[in-house]
Structure 1
């Protein structure tokens, strides 16, 4: 029996199968394999290990948490000069960790994954925050929690966080969302650590948005395949994949996804639209070859 190398999607599935052993950094690195199937993920992980070791070598003995944090920030934001890619913010490469490590430029969530990996290796307790519009990091320190902007390492005050949140709360009020803008502890829900699965989902949704804006259906489908593997019970991903499959002429697969969406999704604000699309696909049948 011949051994067959796993596909990039199979490899990704193995990394995200179990919440108790979820390989966040490796899964984040592996997202680039759709565009770079030859990518050696272990080499990228070894590069991150080397960066962590470079910071560790700068520690004094004994090294308290604040000392470790200062050394980490100096290394990331001074020595490596990590920053946001302001010249090409919507490039897919900003979500590819091997490219971010090479260019030292990325978006908040990709820089945050690098930060979280190094912080964890150095013994710092750091978590991702799926803050609206801008992914953040929460650090647990002896004097209390600190919220860090991964673009530059600055610590954000409560007032700064509320100011960042206000446009999203205002938008919710404009849309009539119940409780949007409620003054009591409005920050609390946004300061709950994101799970590794949620972090990878947000990275994938960023990539999907980039490909959608470029009308790049094949690459959008690759991302949607990963979202379905990552969160199989998020029925919106099935709908989105089904609609993309339909546009690509993969009728039978599209019908299966859209039918599953209509059968399982709890809230179906778009039921009529999806049902009409499904009926049209069934009537058209599979593509004919002439």
Structure 2
């Protein structure tokens, strides 16, 4: 089943960025937990919501008015909200669950927010802000940064700086440099990395491995994912796969901070007899 999921996801991504249906691809990720999941009913639901929303917006509504209507509809009428009680539940990363339960984490709520916004003429883009996924809209004279996890509130530079300081302390970095547009593949990888961390924390080794496999399939240049997969294979005593991935990492990142430790593991693995799995 995992191979079928990977193939289905890659078919969605085998086209230019502008033509990728991000919502459909994100829904497909849920097949890792729900093998029979069909994205079509969820996409139909989003289309119905967008029609209801569009009918409520004046034809001459400007951008602030459209954002206000989107916020009211999604967070007041539909009742979507950030999940802060059970934040690390994998269901918060499955878009189908988020659409059913109307609760989610920043990135899953942002995907729904962007989808609805696009359907009413708001060209919203994802922002991989450190620690908390956000959404932005480019307007004449600048950009508006919005937080769907907190009801679509608008954030200025001071708000964003304060968030960085609360999480990382004093850092010498420009907030503007952290507001670049996140591509669709980048967004999917971030969603999968959330799942990867949750599964690993829960001791779900097989699910963690499968999630890393999807990440690498989407972006084969993420060298640290080969390292992490290799370390998991090492943990379950699967030496051939561990050697393959750890060697890949060392070739790609010979000067990495952990390169010496990884080389020691590779040496140990080469000394041990190979067990077939």
Q: Normalising by structure 2, what TM-score?
A: 0.91
Match of residue 4 from structure 2: 7
Match of residue 112 from structure 2: 114
1:73 pairs, out of 57, 71, 74, with 71
Which structure 1 residue ranges, 5 or more long, are not aligned?
174-179
1:251 matches 2:239: yes
Q: Given that residues 129 and 194 in structure 1 are in contact (C-alpha distance below 8 angstroms), is that contact kept between their aligned partners in structure 2?
A: yes
For these two proteins, the number of residue pairs brought into alignment is 275
Q: 1:101 to 1:161 in 2, by over 3 A?
A: same
Match of residue 176 from structure 1: none
Match of residue 127 from structure 1: 125
Q: Which moved more, 1:122-131 or 1:62-71?
A: 62-71
1:155 matches 2:154: yes
Return the alpha-carbon distance in structure 1 between the equivalents of residues 255 and 104 of structure 2. Answer: 35
Q: Given that residues 125 and 139 in structure 1 are in contact (C-alpha distance below 8 angstroms), is that contact kept between their aligned partners in structure 2?
A: yes
Q: Spell out the pairing of 1:26-105 with structure 2 (5 A cutoff).
A: 26-105=24-103
1:272 pairs, out of 227, 238, 260, with 260
Q: Which moved more, 1:101-110 or 1:252-261?
A: 252-261
Return the alpha-carbon distance in structure 1 between the equivalents of residues 203 and 2 of structure 2. Answer: 31
Q: Given that residues 66 and 141 in structure 1 are in contact (C-alpha distance below 8 angstroms), is that contact kept between their aligned partners in structure 2?
A: no
Q: Given that residues 124 and 136 in structure 2 are in contact (C-alpha distance below 8 angstroms), is that contact kept between their aligned partners in structure 1?
A: yes
Q: Given that residues 169 and 181 in structure 1 are in contact (C-alpha distance below 8 angstroms), is that contact kept between their aligned partners in structure 2?
A: no
Q: Which moved more, 1:39-48 or 1:70-79?
A: 39-48
Q: Given that residues 2 and 32 in structure 2 are in contact (C-alpha distance below 8 angstroms), is that contact kept between their aligned partners in structure 1?
A: no
- Secondary structure, counterpart of 1:148 in structure 2: strand
Return the alpha-carbon distance in structure 1 between the equivalents of residues 246 and 21 of structure 2. Answer: 30
Match of residue 187 from structure 1: 175
Return the alpha-carbon distance in structure 2 between the equivalents of residues 288 and 102 of structure 1. Answer: 43
Which structure 2 residue ranges, 5 or more long, are not aligned?
none
Q: Given that residues 131 and 191 in structure 1 are in contact (C-alpha distance below 8 angstroms), is that contact kept between their aligned partners in structure 2?
A: yes
Q: Which moved more, 1:252-261 or 1:215-224?
A: 252-261
Return the alpha-carbon distance in structure 2 between the equivalents of residues 288 and 159 of structure 1. Answer: 56
Name the Cα RMSD after superposition.
2.2
Q: Deviations over 1:30-88 (max 9, x none)?
A: 11111111111222222222221221122223343333222211110101111111220
Q: After TM superposition, where is structure 1 displaced by more than 3 Å over at least 4 residues in a row?
A: 141-144
2:13 pairs, out of 13, 16, 39, with 16
Return the alpha-carbon distance in structure 1 between the equivalents of residues 21 and 245 of structure 2. Answer: 28
Match of residue 286 from structure 1: 274
- Secondary structure, counterpart of 2:124 in structure 1: strand
Match of residue 177 from structure 1: none
Return the alpha-carbon distance in structure 2 between the equivalents of residues 154 and 27 of structure 1. Answer: 27
Q: Given that residues 124 and 137 in structure 2 are in contact (C-alpha distance below 8 angstroms), is that contact kept between their aligned partners in structure 1?
A: yes
